[in-house]
Amino acid sequence: MDQLEAKFSRLGVDNAPGQEITQAEERLQLIGEKIPGKPVDFSHGDVDAFEPTPGSLDTFIRGVYSGGVQAYTEYKGRGDIREALAERLSAFTDTPISADTQLIITPGTQGALFLAMGSLVGRGDKVAIVEPDYFANRKLTQFFDGEMIPVELNYLESDERAGLDLTRLEAAFKDGVKVFLFSNPNNPTGVVYSPDEVQSIGLLAQKYGVSLIVDQLNSRQIFDGRVYTHLCAQEALPETLITIIGPSKTESLSGYRLGVAFGSQKIIKRMEQLQAIVSLRAGGYSQAVLKSWFDEPEGWIEERTNAHERIRDDLLALLRGVEGVKVRKAEAGSYLFIKTPELTVTMGNFVKILRVQAAVTVTPGTEFGPQFTDSFRINFSQDHHFAVEAVKRTIQMIERYRK
């Protein structure tokens, strides 16, 4: 097997969210009949239930009408849009951001993650990755020939903190980790790192000269009045910090493929250089949609956040009634990471059976770390009623396949 064969053999996508359609049909040991109900795809948010920000399409159309200046922007994004974003993100994160040298518009936050990792991870570099965390983090480390150092998030241990194993993190940093990449709020658990945890990450990275990449994709939708702590606003920070955020989740603008990264000038410059050969730029017309980002109608974010809180609470009430199920209350975003009791089938097969018998699509825990063979993730940004019905069917299925 040559180097590329080996590399791509580790880059599976069939279980990635939204890719379920590619799964090969195979013999499953089914118990019982199908449970009727409206299909629900918990692998991603439902933009039909929670629609894109009001006015986003109009902003796009005005972008198209403005013609060449919007179609062909600088690789890092159109200047006036970067300026507006730098100002709003500065206010949001309480951090100064130069529109000219410290910010880049990317095709989705996935695009930003790829560019940031490609700009910071070289062959053999040690990269600390949280487990569980967003599935692409590990794949990116592998693709850039980095060496992955897992750090556990003990998310079920306490409600006071996310549960990052700081002792393990420091040991990893001491051992030569070059880059630490993590999402906050955490994907898949929906937990928010405590002020103390965020501060410790900054301090440790500064002490050991570790570059930080923080994926804050879900940081606008915070529940229960909780305070969100921005890493970039901390006093103690390393030389290199890249913050990633985008309008694909709370704002339901995923169809426009937009993300933003901001932070250390040297790395933003590299990301621009890399973008030039990866995809040139985020779609020119789509960039126009960012004009309405962080400028939504008054109360719109609060209303959306409250609606998600209510769904979360109803699903949690159902799930917590099931013996052996463990799930932490999501503190932000729209994910629940659900640990099941022991089942008679593997999680990989349970997920397939759930789709076939109950018309419910979820993402297996192993996408977020190899050890999560007893968990799955749901994105509860769905129609409230149908999400409740789908979780009821899921619980029936857990009972049916319980060991």
Binding residues for its own copies, rule: CB under 8 A, are 2-4, 7-8, 11-13, 16, 18-19, 21-22, 44, 46-48, 52, 57, 60-61, 63-64, 67-68, 70-75, 79, 107-108, 110-111, 113-114, 119-120, 122-123, 136, 139-140, 143, 252, 254-257, 270, 272-274, 276-286
Comparing CB distances to its own copies, the nearer of 13 and 31 is: 13
Q: How far is the CB of 81 from its own copies (least distance, A)?
A: 14
Comparing CB distances to its own copies, the nearer of 142 and 305 is: 142
For 339, phi then psi, to 5°, come to -95, 125
Comparing CB distances to its own copies, the nearer of 138 and 312 is: 138
Q: How far is the CB of 218 from its own copies (least distance, A)?
A: 16
- Rounded CA-CA distance 226/28 in Å is 43
For 71, phi then psi, to 5°, come to -70, -40
Comparing CB distances to its own copies, the nearer of 64 and 236 is: 64
Q: How far is the CB of 46 from its own copies (least distance, A)?
A: 6
**Alpha-carbon dihedral sign for residues 66, 70, 72, 73:** positive
Asked if residues 377 and 360 have their Cβ atoms less than 8 Å apart, the reply is: no
Q: How far is the CB of 383 from its own copies (least distance, A)?
A: 11
Of 32, 89, 69, which is closest to residue 288 (Cα–Cα)? Answer: 69
Q: How far is the CB of 195 from its own copies (least distance, A)?
A: 31
State the alpha helices, DSSP H only, in 66-194.
Answer: 68-71, 79-93, 108-120, 135-143, 166-174
- Rounded CA-CA distance 182/365 in Å is 17
| Cβ density class 369-399: b for 16+ within 10 Å, e for less | beebebbbbbbbbbbeeebbbbbbbbbebbe
Comparing CB distances to its own copies, the nearer of 101 and 396 is: 101
Amino acid at 126: K
Q: How far is the CB of 335 from its own copies (least distance, A)?
A: 16
Asked if residues 380 and 335 have their Cβ atoms less than 8 Å apart, the reply is: yes
Q: Quote the tokens at residue 43.
A: 């692998």
- Exposed, middle or buried: residue 342 (CB in 10 Å: 0-12, 13-18, 19+)? exposed
Comparing CB distances to its own copies, the nearer of 278 and 395 is: 278
Comparing CB distances to its own copies, the nearer of 52 and 163 is: 52
Q: How far is the CB of 201 from its own copies (least distance, A)?
A: 23
